[in-house]
Every structure is written in C-alpha cells, then in structure tokens.
Structure 1
Amino acid sequence: MCLSANPPAQASDNGGGDRTVEALDAAFDDAFARYAPPGLAVGVIVDGEVRYARTRGELVAGGGQGIDRATLFKIASNSKAMTAALLARLVDQGKLDWTDPVVKHLPDFRMHDAWVTREMQVRDLLIHNSGLGAGAGDLMLWPEPNLFTRADVIRGLRYLKPAYSFRSRYAYDNTLYIVAGEVAAAAGGAPYDVLLRRELFEPLGMSRCQAGEWRRDEAGNVAQPHARGEGGRQVVVRADDEVIPDVPMMAAGGIRCSLDDMLAWVRMWLQPERFGLDADGRPWLSQRQREDAWKTHMPMPLSRRMRDWDDSHFSAYGHGWRLTDVDGTWKVSHTGTLSGMYSAVTLLPQKDTGFVLLINGNADELRTVLTQVLVKHFTRPDDPSLTVAHYAALLAAERAESADVAQSSTPEEARTRASVRDAAGFLGRYRDPWFGEVSICAEGEGVGFRAMKSPKLHGAVMRSGERLLVDWHELGADAQAWLTFTTPATGPARLTMAKVDPEADFSYDYEDLAFERIGDCPAP
C-alpha cells in the first residue's frame, strides 16, 4: 500500500509535551504497522491546547493523495452528540423542552403502542430506552444508498414491535435519532442540516464539517471508505458520487468532519469558558445543558472487558455520550462505525484531556487498541506495559476463546444455489409494513432476492441442508440471512428472516421483518 509522507506530530511545550509526543508517536506507529489502515488521523487536546495531531495514509489506498488534518471522514455515530447538542441549544433558546411530548412537535409520530406514543418525550429519543430491540428499523438506514426517506423512517416506527417495556432497559437504536433531528427541525424552523450549520458548525469554527446534500469535489479532500479485498488489499467500498445526498440517517450517523473540526468540538466540551462562547461572548450551551448532556439518563451493561481492563464500576448513556469510569477517573466517549469508516471521541474531563481517532477502513480492533493506549497514557502514565502489543494480545485471547466456543457448534452444511423448481412453492412478491416490498423470483438458472427500496439487498437464494438463506451480492458473509416460509391455514404465505451469524451487526435487523405474500413474480 502506498502511503503519504508522515508529517511530524504537533505538540505544545508545556507539561511534558515532548514525552507525550514520543509516547503517542510510538503508539501511532505500532498501531499503523500492525493494522495497516488506508488512513489514520489522531489528535489529542490537553489543557485546552492541541498537544498532538498526526495523520498518515491516503484518501484512497494507492491513489497518492494523503490524509491531513482537513480531510473529511464519516464520523458515524459521533453525530449523535451533535444532534443532542443542537436540541440542547434549542432548549436554551426556549424553543422546546426535554419533557415535551414528541407529538407536540411531530403530530404524526407514532410508536407501536399508543401509550408509548403519548408518553415519549424529546429526551427519550436520545437515550436508547424506547423498548425497541437493538438496531430496530436500521434496514431503512443502511446499507446505503437506498430509497428510504426520513418520512418513511418515522412512519415505519409504528410497525416495529417492542422487545422490552418502555424505559425499562438500554437497547441501542438509530431510528429515534432520526426523529430527534426532525424534532429539531420543527422546533428550530429550518431543516436539520441548516440548523446544524447555523447553530453548531459556524459558531464553533467547525468549518469543514458537512451535513445535508453537498458536492464532493467542491468540498475536496474527502476520505473514502475501505474494506479488505483479495490478499488483504485495501479496496474502496461504496465510493462517494459527486453529489453526497442528504441521507435519512444524517442525525444518527451521517455527518462528516475533519480532525481539526473534531478537535474544536472536543476543546469546546473540555474548556467551555474559553472555547464554548458564541460571537457575542455568551456561552454556546448553558451550564445546565452541559450537565444534562453528561448525566446518567440510562444505565448500560458493564462489560467484562471494562471491568478487567479499566477497573470500571458503572456504565451509562447521557445525551449522545457514553459515560463510565476508568482507573478512578471519569470518561465521556462515543464511537462511530459505518462500513469502511470508524471514529472515536474520548474525553477525560477531570484530566482536561480528550482525543479523536478517524479511520477510513474497517478497523474495529485498531480503534479499540489505540484508544485504550491513549486512555492509559493519561490514567496510568507510570505503567509502560500498556502498549498496542499488550492490548492486541488481549483481543487475540478473546478471539481464541470465542473460536473454541464456535468449534463446539454444529458444522456448517454445504450450500447450493436454489433452483426455480426447488423454489416453486414460495416464489412471489412479499411486503413488510415498514420495510416495503421484496421479490423472490427466478434470476437466470436460480432464484434471487431483491428489496425494492434497498438495492444493496439483492442476492442469491441458497440451500443449506433443509434451510434457505440469501447470500447478498454486495455485502459480506456476516450479513447473510436465513429465510423461513410458512403457509397458514388461512391468509397469505409469510416470510420471516434471521441472521445466519447470530453475532452479526445488530443493524441487520432481519428479525423485525414480517412479510406477507402479495402477488406473483412479474412475467419474464
């Protein structure tokens, strides 16, 4: 892989800056060598100053255009804190209240249960307590591009059956952040992206951030997402067209920003008295709204890894932020994950420290390891053993343990393409009330599955023993889905789906689909 020149890290001279740069350079180099991402950008804020900022790699692997501090990356779910902060600005301006019923601002909003519809408040949209299962409705957001609109997403919520009682437990969702963005638009009197630029990007000097529809070449310097291809080579996946559309998922995970933009965002949160003032010298957010953003609104599960690695004692969700303790100090953070793009924002408020990672590749382990080393540099600075190699070894041990469990399961059946004759009993068009229409029809010598509103969900129907599954043409094996057809005594035939890999990303929320047959396949 061709790499751009590696520019020197930047540091301030106070407070042991040289030692910090040396340690962070070592971690950056080790992580880059071990995981070889297409591009990586890392920045660290200490005491209100950029103590470290470094980039390496390319916009497109092998393309020769280097990543720099102005390069735009998808920040994915780190968009959520920005949506929450936008709503907080509107609360400060008296345009809404956290306890407002959602239907006050969006009269057509409906959840599956009428009581939940009535009782759901604006604050509930941000804290993953709706009762929906994790990732419910995400198939309306990705894979991208698709033909769903924000109106489709909001309308679809009424058909998603809850998995739990309202406000009873944490389950991560994206769709209600889409609703939150539309509440902001209704209360603020302008589209979400217009409000975001006016209320957040411009006053905070985040001049490169993009939301809504924009043109790739006008913005310039845009990192493209990558995945591993043959031989481990980094290849672009879902490359941007010239026009970047205003996608429905914008408020949940569709914003793009540069490293410098994200460092401005972090600095504002850490030192609001210096960097959180508007043009008139007034606080960009009131103290009350800052406190609400980092307040425990919904308890989260405390993982074994958090206990073992960080000696954590609590885990919770605020307004667009995850909250926990690490080695006796408070941590406020979030990650962002989209196919081919990873981000992380971590704040240690009691140490006046924060850092940002932006990566244009599928890089879960890189993000985990490097974030952990950065945290430990500030929470356990006297322990030189907490290196990239150390945490990579711990992850390898976790994988080995998981592999041992997997090997004890039933071996996978051989898979063959389902024939039209084999599939004669279930060919046809099917419809789900929130996802829309799909067809399961003859394609060449076999059978294909095609979703009308989600073109990437197009694949071959396969037989695996006595079961059927769909193998998508443009998605990885982790996205494969079982197909189960039933014929009730009365009424149309039905189709349900489930992940082949139970550990696959929850955004493949096939289990929420309930199709009914609506007609025959179109004539050839």
Structure 2
Amino acid sequence: MPKTRLRLLSLFPCLLLAGISFSASAIERDRIDAAFDDAFNRYRLPGLAVGIIQDGEVVYRRTAGETAAGGGQPIDADTLFKIASNSKAMTAGVLARLVDAGKLKWDDPVTKYLPQFRMQDPWVTANMQVRDLLIHNSGLGLGAGDLMLWPEPNDFTRADIIAGLAHLKPTHSFRSHYAYDNLLYVVAGEVAAAAGGAPYETLVKRELFEPLGMDRCQVGEWNRTQVGNVAQPHSRTAQGNRVIREDGEVVPNITSMAAGGIRCSLDDMLTWIGIWLDPQRQPAWLSEQQRRAVWTAHMPMPVSKRMREWDNSHFSAYGYGWRLSDVDGVWKVAHTGTLAGMYSSVILLPDQRVGIVILINGSGEAARTTLGQALTKRFTRPSDATLTVAHYAAALEAEDAADPDRPRIADTSSRSPATAAALAGRLGRYRDPWFGEVALCAAGDGVSFVSARSPLLAGRVMRVGDRWLVDWHNDSVDAEPWLAFSEGPPIGLALSHVDPDADFSYDYADLDFQRTGPCE
C-alpha cells in the first residue's frame, strides 16, 4: 500500500537539527518537544528520530542531527537506522504468516526443518519447538555464543551458528529460566527459510515489507549508494561523536540478520507499529489467532526494581519477539534494539492505541531509557508534569549512587605491554570448539591476541599487576577481556570482562580455549 507522506523540513545552519512534525491535538506537544530536545542535547546525540501514533494517526514526527557527524546530511523520516533487536518482532511476524499459510506450526520440532540442528543435550534437541526459538527459554546463558555474531564483520555463517550450538553449555534446564538469546533467532530465520521455501531475506520482503508498504526498510544485501540516506553508528569521544564501523558501498547479508540486522526508517517503523495497533488497516495480513499468539505471555521475565519503582509494574513476560508488561495499570508491548553505536525502541500501549518509535545513531542507552520513559508517561500519567527526561536522568544517577557494592570496572591505569618472556610457556595457538582459533604470539616487542575468524578481536596483551588483559586495536570494540590460564596439559585459556557492565554479547564466559600448538 503506498504511503502518503507529508513533510516539513527545517534545517538549522549547522545542520544539527531537522524537524518533521504533525499537529498533536491529543497530546501536549510542548512536553514532547521538551523531552526530545532534552534527550538530544543532554546526551549529545549525533542523530535522533521520534514518532508517535495515537488513534490510528501519526500525531508526532520529528528528527534531529546528521547521518554522519560533520557530514552535512540531515536525518529525516526516510533515514535508515539499524533497528537491531527490533528485527526480532519482524522475524516472528514472518513465522506467524507461515503458520497462517499452513507451512509450519509453532509446536513443530525444529529438527523437522533443520535436521542438522543440535543442542548439547539430545533431549533438548528432540524437544525444541519452533516457538522455543523465540522466547529465550533454551537454558543457555545470557548472550551465549554471541561472539559468532558480533563484532562485525566476521566470517561465521548461519551454518556455523547451528553447528556451534551443540558446544554451548546450558546454565539452566530447558524452559525453566529466561535468558536473552540471539543465536536461536538466527535458527528461527533458517526455519522460516526452510518452511517458506525461500531465503530469510526474501521472506521478509515478501511477507512484511511488500504487503505493508515498508518501502525503505532493507534486509539482506543492498547497495548503500543506491539506497541512500543511511545513518551511520557513532561513539562519543572527548572530541565529539565519531563514526564507527562505517558501511561500505555494499551492505552485506550479515549472519545476525534475523536476530538484529534489519534497517528501517522512522516512517516505515510508524507503518509497522500502526499495523499492530490497528489490525483493520491490513486485516488480511495476519489472522487474529496469530496476532494473539505473538502477543501472548509465553515466558515469564523478572520484574526489576526499576520497573516496580518507575512504572508500578506487576508482570513481565516475553511473547514472540515482543516484551509484555504493565505500566501504571496500562498494558505495554515493547522492545529495544542495541548495536554498537545504534539504539532503537518501540513502545506500544495497545489499549490506548498509542505507539512510540525512537531511533538513535549514537551512544544512546541512557537517552533511549529516559526519553522512552518520559514519552510513555505522557500517556500513562499525563497529569504528572514532573516525569521528564531530566527526572529520569536523575533517577539513573541515583540508582548508580545507591548501589556502592555493585561491581565496578577495575583500575587498569598501571597497564604496561606484556612481553613474550613474561608469557613464556603460554604463547601459542588456542582453540575453542565453537569460536575457533586464536593466536597468542610474540609481535614486535610485545604479545598479540588475534582471532582467526573475528578480525576486530585483535589486540595487544597488557600486564596489570599479576594479571593480563587485551587492549583491542579497534576502539569500537569496547569490552576488554582479562586472560586467565590454567595448567595443562593442554594449557587452558579463559576470558572474562574487565568491565562488569560490558555488553553481554561479548560472550567471553562461554569460551573454553585449549592450547593446540606453538605460534607459527
């Protein structure tokens, strides 16, 4: 269905702000604008796009910043952002369409479509159903195996993901515990491909983008220049926002596509949430039975202290690609997306027919949290004008200060380059059964750590007292690991986070390296 798009573009001289807005009769526009401005300025974001739907209409649409800091191209409602894990709801949508078409069932065993699929426990392999791939109940630990997906680029394939699962040790029994997982969404994409008779990216276009008119969204391989208007991820430095992991001319069909690889514009994300909030816009797209299935609480999730205090929440659960909870007595369906230098948030209040989209192309975790809260409260507690971005920013600071016993990042300022002599007997090639080989070898007057399959995981080994860590060469890899050796034979090598708050997708805990030979 073609979309009618009305745009008012205003460019400030420095091209830092671009505004696209509709009249907001049902909301207090000044409060929304204030929240937008505060988040954009407080967190020094390179770019921000926000849209709100109410009662079937786009009542707010605004953008600010640039696709690449200093590049001069303003962000608008057509700019493509990485939506990261908001891709999961789209993968679930493809599967739901295939269920409607009679091509698979939610309770089909995964091995019906992927005979090569294996978990470590044969019983779990036999009993893993399609639905289990979507609800984070596999028994694997948080982010298990994510180093096969990120950092990108790497040379792990979807076949490698399926083969690697057999080597990942569970931390809990099957279906007993929620732990966020990405690998099984990759498997879900391959199940969809097998059942649908076409590659995952073809199915997403056929089942979602084309029938819903999401004509800017991109999946699979595409050409950046031909598509145009693509936001780049940024990290924040003392000198300002800096582009990291910039796209090349051809954007590849990455392995993680079904878990977090889709890109969409603000307008297309508003179309996407509009279809969920108002099924009558496209009644033939998905049956009522499958809509209910997707938004059913399939896996209980913990209700955090923050959710209780900020939102008076009483329940939290995972559906198929969506998180479900209550906020101030209002039903909430939502998800976030996080990749290096890219943050997204989708918040739906279905009973109020309200939807919110937030897209950020910079270091935006706190901005996403505070802005999402402030915007949500305009609908769940509209009479309370104190619940602003500033209020929630102060609350985040108070949370941090109120927990003096929380593990903190170690002081590594005394670090100095390791020498081959100091690591004598420990240098060599090491292998992990799912991650593959790394080399810990002399390099010049120091020692290097180099992954064979993940090029960005290469760095210089440093000494801190009697401990060792890796200082990654590429500063977009922001989770340094400690190295710990165990006596053999063979000698073992384990990695752990220097910063306990590092992204869980740096899945060092599941690595179990054994020395296989000397350095070449």
Aligned position for 1:495: 493
Residue type of the alignment partner of 2:243 = V
Residues 349 and 355, structure 2, Cα contact 8 Å, conserved in 1: yes
1:408 is displaced (CA, Å) by: 8.9
Per-residue deviation, residues 200-256 of structure 1 (Å, max 9, x unmatched): 00000100000001010011000000001233x000000000010100000000000
Q: How far has the Cα of 1:26 moved from its partner? A: 1.7
2:484 is the counterpart of 1:484: yes
Tell me how far apart the structure 2 counterparts of residues 193 and 95 of structure 1 sit (CA, whole Å).
17
Is this contact kept in 1: 2:225–2:249, CA < 8 A? yes
d(CA) in 1 for partners of 2:19 and 2:519?
58
1:40/1:55 contact within 8 Å kept:
yes
Match of 2:9 in 1: none
Distance in 2 (alpha carbons) for counterparts of 1:127 and 1:103: 18
Matched, 1:132 2:140: yes
- 1:253-291 CA-to-partner distances (Å, cap 9, x unmatched) read 000000000000000000001x224xxxxx211111100
Tell me the residue number matched to 1:396. 397
Displacement of 1:113 in angstroms is 0.6
Q: Are 1:174 and 2:175 counterparts?
A: no
1:94 and 2:102 correspond? yes
Using the TM superposition, give the Cα deviation of residue 409 of structure 1 relative to its aligned residue in structure 2, in angstroms.
Answer: 9.3
* Count of residues in correspondence between the two structures: 508
Question: Cα offset for 1:392?
Answer: 1.0
Q: CA deviation at 1:477?
A: 7.9
Residue among 248, 260, 263 paired with 1:256: 263
Q: For the Cα contact (< 8 Å) 1:9–1:21, is it kept in 2?
A: no
CA separation in 2, counterparts of 1:341 and 1:24? Answer: 22
Aligned counterpart for 1:267 among listed residues 268, 271, 274: 274
- Report the Cα offset of residue 2 of structure 1: 4.0
Counterpart of 1:466? Answer: 466
Q: CA deviation at 1:299?
A: 0.4
1:280 maps to: none
**Deviation by residue 1:88-128 (Cα, 9 ceiling, x = unmatched):** 00000000000000000000000011000000000000000
Say if 2:418 is the partner of 1:418.
yes
Correspondence 1:153-192 to 2 at 5 A: 153-192=161-200
TM-score normalised by length of structure 2: 0.95
Partner of 2:116: 108
**Using the alignment, how far apart are the partners of 1:380 and 1:331 within structure 2?**
14
Partner of 2:245: 238
Structure 2 residue runs without a partner (length 5+)? 1-12
Q: CA deviation at 1:406?
A: 5.6
Give deviations 1:133-179, integer Å, cap 9, x for gaps: 00000000000111111111111000001010000010000000000
In the other structure, the counterpart of 2:439 is 439
Opposite residue 224 of structure 1, the aligned amino acid is Q
Deviation of 1:414 (Å): 2.4
Task: Assess if the C-alpha contact under 8 Å between 2:340 and 2:476 holds in 1.
Answer: no
Q: Residue 276 of structure 1: which of 247, 257, 282 is its match?
A: 282
Match of 2:8 in 1: none
The alignment partner of 1:146 has SS state of: coil
TM-score (norm 1): 0.94
Query: By how many angstroms is 1:34 displaced?
Result: 1.2
Give 1:380's aligned residue. Answer: 381
Q: Alpha-carbon deviations, 1:37-92, whole Å to 9, x = none? A: 11100000000110100011100111110000000000000000000010000000
The 2-side partners of 1:262 and 1:376 are apart by 21
Equivalent of residue 54 in structure 1, options 62, 72, 84: 62
User: What is the match of residue 405 of structure 1?
Assistant: 405
Check whether the contact 1:11–1:53 (CA below 8 A) recurs between aligned residues: no
- Looking at structure 1, the residues matched to 350 and 111 of structure 2 have their Cα atoms a distance apart, in angstroms, of 36
- Distance in structure 2 (CA, Å) of the matches to 1:22 and 1:384: 11
2:93 to 85, 89, 113: 85
Measured in 1, the distance between the counterparts of 2:214 and 2:408 equals 51
Change (3 A) 1:249 1:5: same
Q: What's the C-alpha RMSD, in Å, of the aligned pairs?
A: 1.6
Aligned pair in 2 of structure 1 residues 393, 85: CA closer, same or farther (>3 Å)?
Answer: same
One-letter amino acid matched to 1:276: Q
AA aligned opposite 1:503: D
> Contact between 1:9 and 1:25, CA under 8 Å: does it hold in 2?
no
Counterpart code for 1:318: G
- Equivalent AA in structure 2 for residue 340 of structure 1: G
Cα separation, partners in 2 of 1:168 and 1:406, compared to 1, 3 Å: closer
Residue identity opposite 1:495 in structure 2: L
Instruction: State the SS of the aligned residue for 1:479.
Output: coil
* CA distance, structure 1, for counterparts of residue 235 and residue 319 of structure 2: 32
Contact (CA 8 Å) 1:297, 1:317: kept in 2 or not?
A: yes
User: Structure 1, residues 281-338: CA drift from partner, whole Å, max 9, x if none?
Assistant: xx21111110011111000011001000000000100000000000011000000000
- Distance in structure 2 (CA, Å) of the matches to 1:312 and 1:397: 20
- 8 Å CA contact 1:110, 1:158 repeated in 2: yes
C-alpha displacement of 1:443: 1.0
Structure 1: any 5+ residue segments left out of the alignment? 278-282
Match of 2:45 among 28, 37, 44: 37
Between the aligned partners of 2:15 and 2:314, the Cα distance in structure 1 is 41
Report the 3-state secondary structure (helix = DSSP H, G, I; strand = E; otherwise coil) of the residue aligned with 2:63.
strand
Q: Percent identity?
A: 63
Cα distance in 2 for residues equivalent to 1:408 and 1:209: 39
Q: Contact 1:478–1:501 at 8 Å: present in 2 too?
A: no
Q: 1:492 and 1:298 mapped to 2: Cα distance?
A: 41
1:202 aligns with 2:210: yes
- Residue 10 of structure 2 corresponds to none
On the 8 A contact 2:407/2:500 being kept in 1, the answer is no
- Structure-2 change in CA distance of 1:409 and 1:151 (3 Å): closer
Change beyond 3 A, Cα 1:121–1:408? closer
Contact 2:245/2:476 (8 A) holds in 1: no
